[in-house]
A and B are shown apart, each in its own frame.
Chain A
Amino acid sequence: MAPQISVEDLSKHYQVHEKDPGLAGSLRAFFARKYKTVKAVDRVTFNIDSGERVGFLGPNGAGKTTTLKVLSGLLYPTSGATRVMGFTPHKREAAYLRRFTLVMGQKQQLLWDLPAIETFLINQAIYEISKADFEATLKELDQLLELGPLLRKQVRKLSLGERMKCELAAALLHRPQVLFLDEPTIGLDVTMQVRIRDFVAEYNARYGATVILTSHYMADVTALCSRLIVIDKGRLLYDGDFKALIERMAPYKIIKLQLPHPLPEGRLAAFGEVQSSEGLNAVLRIPRARATETAARILSEIEVDDVTFEDPPVEDIIRDVFAGGLIPTEKTP
Chain B
Amino acid sequence: MISLARKYVAFGKAAWSNMLEYRAQILLWMTGSLLMIVMLMVWLGIAADQATVGGFSAVDFTLYYMLGLVVRNMTAVWASWELDTQIREGTLSPQLLRPINPIHNHIAANWVEKIIRLAVTVPIAAFVIALTPGAKIDLSLGALAAVAAALLGAWAVAFFVDYLIGLTAFWTTQTSAFIMGFYGLRIVLSGTAAPMQLFPAEFQAALTALPFRYMLSFPLEIALNKLSPEQILSGLLIQWAWVAAFVFAVAIVWRLAIRSYSAVGA
Contact = CB atoms under 8 A, between A and B. Distances in A.
Given A102-B97, A126-B100, A107 B90 contact: yes
B107 to A, nearest CB: 14
B98 A97 contact: yes
A107 B91 contact: yes
- Size class of the contact patch on chain A: 35 or more
A152 to B, nearest CB: 12
B195 to A, nearest CB: 40
Given A65-B266, A125-B7, A114 B97 contact: no
Interface of B is mostly: helix
Contacts of B100: 94, 126
A122 B11 contact: yes
Interface of B: 3, 6-7, 9-11, 13-14, 17-18, 21-22, 90-91, 93-100, 258-263, 265-266
A125 B21 CA distance: 23
B97 A97 contact: yes
Given A125-B6, A126-B7, A126-B10, A72 B97 contact: yes
A76 B14 CA distance: 31
A111 interface: yes
Interface string A34-52: 0000001000000000000
Interface in A93-137: 94-95, 97-98, 101-102, 104, 106-109, 111, 113-114, 118-119, 121-128
B61 to A, nearest CB: 41
B10 A122 contact: yes
A75 B14 contact: no
Contact of A97 (B9, B13, B99, B262): B99
Contacts of A95: 99
Nearest to B17: A114
A104 B93 contact: yes
Interface in A61-86: 65-66, 69, 72-76
Contacts of B265: 106-107
B93 A121 contact: no
A113 to B, nearest CB: 5
A101 B18 contact: no
Interface of A: 14, 40, 65-66, 69, 72-76, 92, 94-95, 97-98, 101-102, 104, 106-109, 111, 113-114, 118-119, 121-128
A205 to B, nearest CB: 25
Given A92-B258, A107-B93, A111-B18, A125 B10 contact: yes
Contacts of A98: 99
22 contacts: A14-B266, A40-B266, A66-B266, A69-B263, A74-B93, A74-B261, A76-B259, A92-B258, A97-B97, A102-B97, A104-B93, A107-B90, A108-B94, A109-B97, A111-B18, A113-B18, A113-B21, A121-B10, A121-B14, A125-B6, A125-B9, A126-B98
A121 B258 contact: no
